[in-house]
Each structure stands twice: as structure tokens, then as C-alpha cells.
């Protein structure tokens, strides 16, 4: 393997390939930073360009764009609360409050470092363990995915804030997720006869509406404040901060990689689960949502690690672990290559060149992100009365381009107004996103599990992995609900005594 | 008076033009701009098909083609936008058999009266695929299927997919009671088969080549009339006495009100592409050459109408 890696390095160091990698990173940066233009779209746009290229160069280009776009979604999430990619939704929750506190530089530094470390960790696992891990991931079937989604949904209990509002939020999210063609029976649900709603509500309009548009509306109401205080300096290696977030980064990198490897769920889910686990493990939960450094480190380490992890089943089994990797799988086939069991043995040079290339991309993120953000953040000097409309335009264009659908744009604007109003009453918007992302997984995997077991519910407890996951979820919910009650009782007893 | 003269002069001119129309159209249907609506998401088989053909069609019709992916709701929006477009031949709908299966399932309001097939370019062969650790051949599978009925589970894609139609057809013709689990995508269904969570999977031959070579999947039944030249060992539905010969097909559709001459011009362009070495290389590379793909407009319509009736019958039974 060491020799293969050296061979890969040699291929990557060819001037033409270095040029490809560098431009891929920059393309990924720009695409990731624009809301609505995700890694998937970039890879698709550039796919025809790669037809005439050598396969090695082509796949270095595509995978590098994918890796760097997952990273750069955090920039606009932190600066404007407009996540550039779905993967960066959770980053906005603590990143944006830090910007509001005038700590944008610190927030970006944490994001960059966590992303790079998460990405490197994921790549390392990808290189070392691809054949072995892919087989492990196959152990996960419907009951396990259902249990994982349930575990994710219980997060709402530990997010802090008003538990009842959180539960209502999850239910709203689940309701949104149930619109469209029922994936299992093909029955049409809640579409009110609209063809556009038949495909269901896409995640992008919900995210962009709830987070970006609602923020612009809020700012409109506050009047034109020129944010001169926002000038910042990014410090990536800030040792006191690193000491604070290092356990979070390590835990989230591992969690992210593992979730990424599982077929079918990708970096967005990884960011969500690791954020919630970080909140759970934290001693002082009230800091989250108000600008906690761990709140940035967790999702960023996890989503970059997961992006690399998602490549494991792609290379080893030919099964994509996420939406973007599904497109990359298509690209392989167009180039006459079929990833899967036979692929690993026959295309060593290509595979190791791609692996080494991905490692270099994560290093380049550390090097290039600072100047790139410096250019991008010049925007902050622009008054909000100009910047706000630009953000809205980007959101509209980005949303439209996902499915070429005007309906999505209207939905996005609708969710924007809804998000604006809900925030006024202190509603946790994340809860809605949780429901929208995890709802479809939970629903269809539950029904698939029951179809597998002919309706026997015991399938969830007789399979060890799903049993453990559900048990954890159950304990966590019970603890979050019971603990405050006990504490209150004790306090009352103390008072009376 | 003037009108009469004009009519007298124009009449013969028009008649001559009408007579020469097909040849004229074939040579000079060269719109400056065309739009390709794709009834599938970016990156899948249908999308790859469109993006491979795009430069070839642009060259032949001396045009610029914009590709728009409309994956929502099994591609219904792509059909609808093509059906509502100007009938001038510049809007094409690239679709797969899902066009017909979603119609049979009542999800697709656009029918063959609104869209006319231009050409079929690909015809994949549906396979019943099993995990070789579980079953070695069709006999073993059938014995278990007869004995355990509903407990034998087949995976595939969504409920209105050609996979499910194949499943329903097999259940009906072979008098079985197998269960079907629809997955979100082919990858998840493959994962379930590899891990042994489902007994079998419906999939096209082009999609499972890698697994077959590695000995991790085994097709045990081909939905075709004759044994495939490349895979003479796989038994067929026809030799078992089951009248089920289909697979996923990919073709091009156009607004039904388009001038027939324009349609034949576009059909001719596609035929030329299909016969080109460039296209055949792509088809070979993607394993899409196991069965003859080409069908012209009229033949394709006939085949689709027959399939639609069959799928509707299957859906009505369930």
C-alpha cells in the first residue's frame, strides 16, 4: 500500500494534475460559498468537461471540487446565516451568533481548522480501510437506519430552549417531509392536485427560506446598520480555542466518518447528529445556539469527514453514500469504469492518485481559505441595504437552479416569511430542519423494516445494532425529561425544609 | 381579382413545396436553439444518455441544446413542459420507461396523446438478481418462493418503477406471492441484496456487471424472449412460459402537435447518431448493447402502447 501511495503522490505531483487540483479547490470554494449551488450541481456542470480528460485527472477534479465545496458552505453560513450548502446548516446555528458578537474571524478560523482536520481524518480512513469498512457498512439495513434516524430526532430534547416548541417544530418538519408521492406505495399525499408538489418539498428551499430569507427580513426591520465592526482577522491556529474544541473535533471526525460510510445518508445528517451529540456531551448546554465554538467545530469536522467517508462504499462497493457521490458514480460509468469489488484491484494508480489528491485538497483548504474569505468578506463593507437584496437574489437563483423549478422559489420565500415570524416567538428553527431531513429516512426505513419482518415489530430489538441505538435514544429522552423534574422536586423539598 | 391571381400562382407553388416537404425538412430543420427536458436527476443513467447525445445532436442539427433536469415526481414536470411547449420541434423530452409506468400508476397526467415518441435509443434487459450465497439458480429460488410465499422479499426502486412492474408481472405469471420493498435508489437496493436482507432484486443487466464479475450478485432470470448472446447461461422468462419481455428503455419524446415532417427530420438525426461509431462505443462501454435499442417513431409508439396496457392491467390487479 505504501508503494501505491507513493505512486499516487507521483501522479498528483505532475504539473498538470497540480493545476487541476488547485483549480478544483477554487471552483469548489466559489460554488460552495454560493447558497443553492452545491457540490452536486458543480460536479454535474463539470462532468461534460471531463469527457475529454484522462480518467485520473477527471476524478481528481470531481472529487476535489466535491471536498472543497463541502468546506466552503460554512463561509456564508457564518457570515450571513445563508448556508452555502445543505451540509453547513448546523454551522450557522452557532457561527452566525459569533459573527453578531463581532467574532467572525474566530468563528471562521474554528470552521476552517475543524473542516481540514475532519477531512484529513476521513481521507485517512478512506485510504486505510476502504475494503474492510465497506463490508461493515453493509451490516446496516432498514432497522438500523430507522434507529439512527430516531436517535437523531431525539436530539430536539437536548437542544435546549422550549421543549414543547421543539417538539412542535419536529412535527412541522415531519409534516413537510410527508408531502409528495409516498415512496413505498406510490400514493399521492398532501399535494392538493399540484404536479409541483408531487415530488415533495425539496430540502434546499426549506433551509434557505428558514435561515437566509428570514434573516434578511429581520435585518430589514432593524433598518440599515452599517456593520463596520465586522472587520475581522481569521486566526486558524488559536491555541486556547483549539484546547477548548479538540475533543469535539476528534469525536465529530470519528462520528462523521462512520455516518458518511453508511450507504444512503450523507454529510448533512452527519453534521446534524454530531452537533446534537456535542450538545449532549457538553456540561453547559445553554451556550449552544448563542455562539459556542464547539457548535461550529462539531458540524464542520463531521461534514467534511463524512464527505470523505461517503467515498468508501462508492469505491469499495459501487454504492454511493450520498447525493453527490451518486453523481460521481455516474461519472465513473461515463468514463467506462465501474466502481465496485473488481474496481479496487484493477485501477490502483487512479484510486491512489485520487486518495492522495483528496489529502492535498484538505491541506489546500488550510492554505487557500484565508485569502479567499478575505476577498469574499469585502462584501461585508457593503451596506446591508445593498447586500440584503444581493443575498435574496443569490437565494432565488440558487433555489431555482436545483430543480429548475419556480415553485421551489415560491416555497423558499414562503418559508422565509414563516421563519421570520416563528423566530419572533423564539421558535427553534433547527427542529423543523431535523424533521425535514430525518423524517423521510425514519418513515421509509420503518416501513421497509416492517415489510422485511412481515409486520413484526421485534425486528428492531432482535437486531443488535438497532437495539442499542434505540436504547440510547430512549435513555437520552427519559433523562432529559426526568432530570429537570427531579431537580425541581429536590429544590422544592429543600425550600420546604 | 388580385386574390384569384395570387391563388392561381401560389397554388402550384404550395403544391410543389408540399411534395418536397420531407426531403426539405430533413435537410434544413436547423433551429438555432433547442431545449432538452430530462425526466431524471443529474448523474443517473438517463442524464448520462442525454449528455452523451447532446454534442452529437448539436452537430447534426447545427443547433445549441440546453439541458434542463426536471427530476421531481418521476419526471412528470419534464413531460408536462414538453407537452406545453411550442410545437415547433425545438423542445425534446428525454425519458425512460418510467414515463409509461408512472402513467399506469396514475401519477403522470401526460399521455401518448400529448407526447409523441421520436425514437427509442436503448433497451436494457430486466433481470432477477440474487445473492449467490443464498441461491445458486432459478430452480432453488423458485422452490423457496413457492414454499415461503410472502416471506421471500424482492427489492427494487420506487413503487411506480419498471422494477416493480417486473416484480408484479413475475408474481402474476409465475403464480407467486413474493413481497416487494421499494428503495429510494438502486444503490440502497443493491446494498440490501449484498447484505442478504432481501432475497432478490430487480435490476438491469447494465447496472450489475461489476458485482457479477466479482461473484457477489448473480442474475438468474432474464426478462427476454431469447437467451442473450453475451450471457447464454441465464434462463429467460419466455422459456419458462412467462410472457414478460421488458426492461428499462430510454428514448426521446416531442409535443404531439409537432409537424410530422419535423418529427421525421429529428428521428433521422437520432438514427444517424444511433448508427455512429461514437454512440455505439458509449453504448458498449455502459453495457447498453445487450439488446437492440433502436425503434423508430411509429414502432416505438406501438411498443409503448402495448406496454402501457400491460402495466395498467398489472396495477389494476394490485
**pLDDT tier for residue A226 given thresholds of 50, 70 and 90:** low
DSSP H or E segment with residue A12: helix A2-12
Taking CB atoms and an 8 Å cutoff, what residues of chain A touch B80? 195
* CA–CA dist B295, A261 (Å, integer): 42
Whether residue B210 and residue A341 make contact (CB cut-off 8 A), yes or no, is yes
Output DSSP code: residue B236.
Answer: B
List the single residue in A with minimal CA-CA distance to B193.
Answer: A138
Q: Work out whether strand B91-96 and strand B64-69 pair parallel, antiparallel, or are unpaired.
A: unpaired
Whether residue B195 and residue A139 make contact (CB cut-off 8 A), yes or no, is yes
Find the CB nearest A452 among B69, B194, B197: B197
Whether residue B179 and residue A454 make contact (CB cut-off 8 A), yes or no, is yes
Q: What is the pLDDT of residue A95?
A: 92
* CA–CA dist A65, A43 (Å, integer): 7
Q: What is the pLDDT of residue A20?
A: 92
**pLDDT tier for residue B1 given thresholds of 50, 70 and 90:** very low
SS3 annotation, A127-165:
HHHHHHHHHHHCCCCHHHHHHHHHHHHCHHHHCCCCHHH
Find the CB nearest B76 among A195, A340, A341: A195
Query: A63 to each of A68, A183, B119, how far by Cα in Å?
Result: 9, 30, 35
DSSP codes joined into one string, A474-489: HHHHHHHHHHHHHHHH
Taking CB atoms and an 8 Å cutoff, what residues of chain B touch A188? 107
**3-state DSSP assignment of residue A319:** coil
More confident position, A149 or B103: B103
DSSP codes joined into one string, B74-103: GGHHHHHHHHTS-SSS-EEEEEETHHHHHH
| CA nearest to B183, candidates B172, B173, B175, B191 | B191
Residues A186-193: what's their mean pLDDT?
Answer: 87
Find the CB nearest A185 among B159, B197, B211: B159
Residues B236-241: what's their mean pLDDT?
Answer: 94
Taking CB atoms and an 8 Å cutoff, what residues of chain A touch B195? 138-141
Q: Is the pLDDT of residue B167 over 50?
A: yes
- A39-50 helix and A55-80 helix, angle to the nearest 10 degrees: 150
* CA–CA dist A475, A154 (Å, integer): 10
Say if residues B251 and B300 touch (Cβ distance below 8 Å). Answer: yes
**pLDDT tier for residue A387 given thresholds of 50, 70 and 90:** confident
Indicate left, alpha or beta for A414 from its phi (over 0: left) and psi (-120 to 50: alpha).
alpha
DSSP H or E segment with residue B218: strand B218-222
Q: Is the pLDDT of residue B19 over 50?
A: no
Q: What is the pLDDT of residue B317?
A: 83
Whether residue A198 and residue B43 make contact (CB cut-off 8 A), yes or no, is no
C-alpha cell at B14: 404550395
CATH (residue range B126-240): 3.40.190.10
**pLDDT tier for residue A420 given thresholds of 50, 70 and 90:** very high
Length of chain B equals 318
Q: Work out whether strand B249-255 and strand B91-96 pair parallel, antiparallel, or are unpaired.
A: antiparallel
Find the CB nearest A326 among B43, B77, B192: B43
Q: What is the pLDDT of residue A257?
A: 93
Q: What is the pLDDT of residue A231?
A: 64
Q: Count other C-beta atoms under 10 Å from residue A396's C-beta.
A: 19
Taking CB atoms and an 8 Å cutoff, what residues of chain A touch B197? 141-142, 452
CATH 3.40.190.10 region(s) of chain B? 126-240
More confident position, A321 or B164: B164
Whether residue A188 and residue B107 make contact (CB cut-off 8 A), yes or no, is yes
Query: B188 to each of A153, A319, A421, A463, B181, how far by Cα in Å?
Result: 22, 7, 39, 19, 11
Phi, psi of A224 (to 5 degrees): -85, 100
The distance in angstroms from the start CA to the end CA of chain A is: 70
Say if residues A255 and A294 touch (Cβ distance below 8 Å). Answer: no
List the single residue in A with minimal CA-CA distance to B156.
Answer: A184
CA distance A300 to chain B (A): 26
Of the candidate ranges A104-113, A159-168, A286-295, the one whose mean pLDDT is the lowest: A159-168
Interface test mutation site (partner A, options B46, B159, B187, B207, max chain A beta carbons within 10 A): B187
Residues B285-304: what's their mean pLDDT?
Answer: 89
C-alpha cell at B68: 434542463
The distance in angstroms from the start CA to the end CA of chain B is: 69
Q: Work out whether strand B33-38 and strand B91-96 pair parallel, antiparallel, or are unpaired.
A: parallel
Q: How many CB pairs under 8 A join A and B?
A: 149
Taking CB atoms and an 8 Å cutoff, what residues of chain A touch B47? 44, 330
Q: What ipTM does this complex have?
A: 0.77
Residues A219-247: what's their mean pLDDT?
Answer: 76
CA pseudo-torsion sign B287, B290, B292, B293: negative
Taking CB atoms and an 8 Å cutoff, what residues of chain A touch B72? 196, 198-200, 202, 403, 405
CA distance A452 to chain B (A): 7
Say if residues A19 and A26 touch (Cβ distance below 8 Å). Answer: no
Of the candidate ranges A33-37, A99-103, B10-14, the one whose mean pLDDT is the lowest: B10-14
CATH (residue range B31-124+248-317): 3.40.190.150
Interface test mutation site (partner B, options A139, A340, A442, max chain B beta carbons within 10 A): A340
| CA nearest to A452, candidates A439, A438, A466, A440 | A466
Q: Specify the residue for cell string 414478460.
A: B244
Of the candidate ranges A231-240, A438-447, B145-154, B291-300, the one whose mean pLDDT is the lowest: A231-240
CATH 3.40.190.150 region(s) of chain B? 31-124+248-317
| CA nearest to B237, candidates B226, B253, B229 | B226
Q: What is the pLDDT of residue A364?
A: 92
Q: What is the pLDDT of residue A115?
A: 95
DSSP codes joined into one string, A227-291: -GGG-----S--HHHHHHHHHHHHHHHHHHHHHHHSTT--HHHHHHHHHHHHHHH-S-GGGTTS-
Whether residue A339 and residue B191 make contact (CB cut-off 8 A), yes or no, is no
Taking CB atoms and an 8 Å cutoff, what residues of chain A touch B213? 341-342
Whether residue B71 and residue A183 make contact (CB cut-off 8 A), yes or no, is no
Query: How do residues B176-195 score in pLDDT, each as one tens digit?
Result: 999 999 988 787 888 889 88
Say if residues A34 and A204 touch (Cβ distance below 8 Å). Answer: no
- B277-285 helix and B45-61 helix, angle to the nearest 10 degrees: 170
Find the CB nearest A338 among B52, B187, B209: B209
Taking CB atoms and an 8 Å cutoff, what residues of chain A touch B182? 183-184
Burial (CB count within 10 angstroms: exposed 0-12, middle 13-18, buried 19+), residue B231: middle
Beta strands (DSSP E) in A160-231 are: 180-181, 188-189
**pLDDT tier for residue B10 given thresholds of 50, 70 and 90:** very low
Taking CB atoms and an 8 Å cutoff, what residues of chain B touch A409? none
Burial (CB count within 10 angstroms: exposed 0-12, middle 13-18, buried 19+), residue A173: buried
- Look up the domain containing A228 and give its range: 2-496
List the single residue in B with minimal CA-CA distance to A185.
Answer: B159
Say if residues A399 and A208 touch (Cβ distance below 8 Å). Answer: yes
C-alpha cell at B36: 432538452
Kindly report the CA angle at B165 between B162 and B167, in degrees rounded to 5? 115
Find the CB nearest A454 among B52, B68, B150: B150
Q: What is the pLDDT of residue B14?
A: 45
Q: Is the pLDDT of residue B282 over 80?
A: yes
Highest mean pLDDT among A45-59, A421-435, B240-254, B278-292: B240-254
CA distance A407 to chain B (A): 11
Find the CB nearest A40 among B42, B109, B150: B42
Mean pLDDT of chain B: 86
Kindly report the CA angle at A478 between A474 and A484, in degrees rounded to 5? 160
C-alpha cell at A326: 451518486
Q: Specify the residue for cell string 423542445.
A: B91
- A429-452 helix and A163-177 helix, angle to the nearest 10 degrees: 60
Whether residue B160 and residue A186 make contact (CB cut-off 8 A), yes or no, is yes
CA distance A158 to chain B (A): 30
CA distance B284 to chain A (A): 9
C-alpha cell at B125: 434487459
Number of domains observed in the structure of chain A? 1
Amino acid at each position: 500500500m505504501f508503494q501505491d501511495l507513493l505512486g499516487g503522490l507521483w501522479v498528483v505531483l505532475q504539473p498538470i494534475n497540480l493545476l487541476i487540483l488547485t483549480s478544483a479547490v477554487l471552483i469548489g470554494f466559489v460554488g460552495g460559498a454560493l447558497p443553492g449551488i452545491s457540490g452536486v450541481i458543480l460536479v454535474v456542470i463539470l462532468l461534460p468537461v471531463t469527457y475529454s480528460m484522462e480518467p485520473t485527472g477527471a476524478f481528481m477534479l470531481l472529487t476535489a471540487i466535491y471536498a472543497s465545496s463541502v468546506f466552503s458552505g460554512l463561509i456564508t453560513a457564518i457570515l450571513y446565516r445563508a448556508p452555502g450548502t445543505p451540509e453547513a446548516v448546523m454551522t450557522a446555528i452557532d457561527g452566525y451568533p459569533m459573527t453578531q458578537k463581532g467574532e467572525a474571524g474566530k468563528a471562521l478560523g474554528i470552521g476552517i481548522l475543524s473542516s481540514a482536520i475532519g477531512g484529513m481524518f476521513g481521507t485517512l480512513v478512506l485510504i486505510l480501510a476502504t475494503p474492510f469498512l465497506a463490508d461493515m457498512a453493509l451490516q446496516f439495513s432498514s432497522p438500523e437506519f430507522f434507529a439512527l434516524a430516531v436517535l437523531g430526532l431525539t436530539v430536539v430534547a437536548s437542544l435546549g430552549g422550549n421543549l414543547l416548541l421543539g417538539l412542535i417544530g419536529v412535527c412541522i418538519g415531519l409534516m413537510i417531509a410527508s408531502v409528495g408521492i409516498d415512496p413505498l406505495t406510490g400514493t399521492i399525499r398532501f399535494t392538493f392536485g399540484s404536479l409541483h408538489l408531487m415530488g415533495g418539498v425539496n430540502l434546499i428551499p426549506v433551509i434557505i427560506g428558514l435561515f437566509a430569507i428570514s434573516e434578511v427580513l429581520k435585518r430589514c426591520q432593524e433598518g440599515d446598520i452599517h456593520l463596520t465592526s465586522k472587520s475581522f482577522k481569521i486566526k486558524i491556529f488559536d491555541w486556547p480555542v483549539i484546547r477548548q474544541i479538540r475533543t469535539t473535533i476528534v469525536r465529530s471526525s470519528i462520528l462523521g466518518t462512520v455516518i458518511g460510510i453508511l450507504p444512503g445518508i450523507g454529510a448533512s445528517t452527519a453534521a446534524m447528529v454530531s452537533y446534537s451529540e456535542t450538545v449532549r456531551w457538553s456540561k453547559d448546554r445553554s451556550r449552544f445556539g448563542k455562539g459556542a465554538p464547539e457548535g461550529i467545530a462539531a458540524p464542520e469536522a463531521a461534514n467534511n469527514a463524512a464527505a470523505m467517508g461517503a467515498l468508501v462504499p462508492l469505491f469499495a462497493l459501487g454504492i454511493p453514500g450520498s447525493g453527490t457521490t451518486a453523481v460521481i458514480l455516474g461519472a465513473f460509468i461515463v468514463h467506462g469504469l465501474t466502481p465496485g469489488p473488481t474496481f479496487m484491484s484493477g485501477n490502483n494508480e487512479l484510486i491512489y492518485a485520487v486518495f492522495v489528491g483528496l489529502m492535498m485538497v484538505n491541506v489546500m483548504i488550510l492554505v487557500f481559505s484565508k485569502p479567499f474569505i478575505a476577498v469574499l468578506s469585502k462584501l461585508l463593507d457593503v451596506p446591508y441595504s445593498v447586500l440584503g437584496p444581493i443575498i435574496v437574489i443569490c437565494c432565488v437563483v440558487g433555489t431555482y437552479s436545483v430543480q429548475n423549478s419556480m415553485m421551489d422559489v415560491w416555497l423558499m420565500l414562503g418559508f422565509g416569511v414563516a421563519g421570520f415570524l416563528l423566530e419572533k416567538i423564539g421558535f427553534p428553527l433547527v427542529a423543523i430542519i431535523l424533521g425535514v431531513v430525518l423524517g423521510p429516512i425514519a418513515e421509509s426505513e420503518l416501513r421497509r423494516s416492517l415489510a422485511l419482518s412481515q409486520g413484526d415489530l421485534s425486528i428492531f430489538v432482535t437486531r443488535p445494532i438497532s437495539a442499542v441505538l434505540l436504547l440510547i435514544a430512549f435513555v437520552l429522552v427519559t433523562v432529559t425529561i426526568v432530570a429537570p423534574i427531579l431537580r425541581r422536586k429536590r429544590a422544592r423539598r429543600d425550600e420546604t425544609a | 381579382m388580385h386574390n384569384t391571381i395570387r391563388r392561381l400562382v401560389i397554388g402550384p407553388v404550395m403544391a410543389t413545396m408540399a411534395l418536397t416537404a420531407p426531403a426539405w425538412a430533413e435537410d434544413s430543420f436547423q433551429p438555432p436553439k433547442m431545449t432538452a427536458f430530462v425526466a431524471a436527476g443529474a448523474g443517473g443513467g438517463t442524464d448520462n444518455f442525454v449528455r452523451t447525445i447532446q454534442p452529437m445532436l448539436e452537430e447534426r442539427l447545427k443547433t445549441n441544446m440546453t439541458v434542463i433536469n426536471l427530476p421531481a415526481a418521476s419526471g412528470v414536470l419534464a413531460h408536462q413542459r414538453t407537452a406545453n411547449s411550442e410545437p415547433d420541434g425545438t423542445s425534446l423530452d428525454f425519458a425512460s420507461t418510467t414515463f409509461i409506468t408512472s402513467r399506469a400508476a396514475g401519477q403522470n397526467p401526460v399521455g401518448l396523446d400529448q407526447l409523441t415518441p421520436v425514437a427509442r435509443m436503448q433497451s436494457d434487459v430486466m433481470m432477477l438478481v440474487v445473492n449467490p450465497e443464498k441461491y445458486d439458480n432459478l430452480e432453488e429460488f423458485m422452490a423457496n418462493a413457492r414454499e415461503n410465499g410472502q416471506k421471500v422479499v424482492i427489492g427494487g426502486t420506487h413503487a411506480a418503477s419498471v422494477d416493480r412492474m417486473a416484480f408484479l408481472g413475475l408474481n402474476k405469471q409465475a403464480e407467486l406471492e413474493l413481497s416487494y420493498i421499494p428503495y429510494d435508489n438502486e444503490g440502497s437496493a443493491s446494498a440490501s441484496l449484498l447484505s442478504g436482507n432481501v432475497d432478490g432484486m430487480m435490476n438491469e443487466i447494465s447496472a450489475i456487471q461489476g458485482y457479477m464479475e466479482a461473484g457477489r450478485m448473480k442474475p438468474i432470470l432474464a426478462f427476454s424472449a431469447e437467451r442473450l448472446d453475451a450471457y447464454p447461461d441465464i434462463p429467460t422468462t419466455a422459456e419458462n412460459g412467462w410472457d414478460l419481455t421488458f426492461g428499462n428503455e430510454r428514448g426521446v419524446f416531442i409535443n404531439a402537435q409537432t409537424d410530422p415532417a419535423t418529427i421525421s427530420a429529428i428521428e433521422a438525426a437520432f438514427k444517424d447518431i444511433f448508427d455512429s461509431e461514437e454512440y455505439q462505443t458509449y453504448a458498449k462501454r455502459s453495457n447498453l448493447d445487450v439488446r437492440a435499442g433502436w425503434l423508430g417513431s411509429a414502432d416505438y409508439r406501438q411498443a409503448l402502447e402495448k406496454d402501457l396496457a400491460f402495466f395498467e392491467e398489472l396495477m389494476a390487479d394490485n
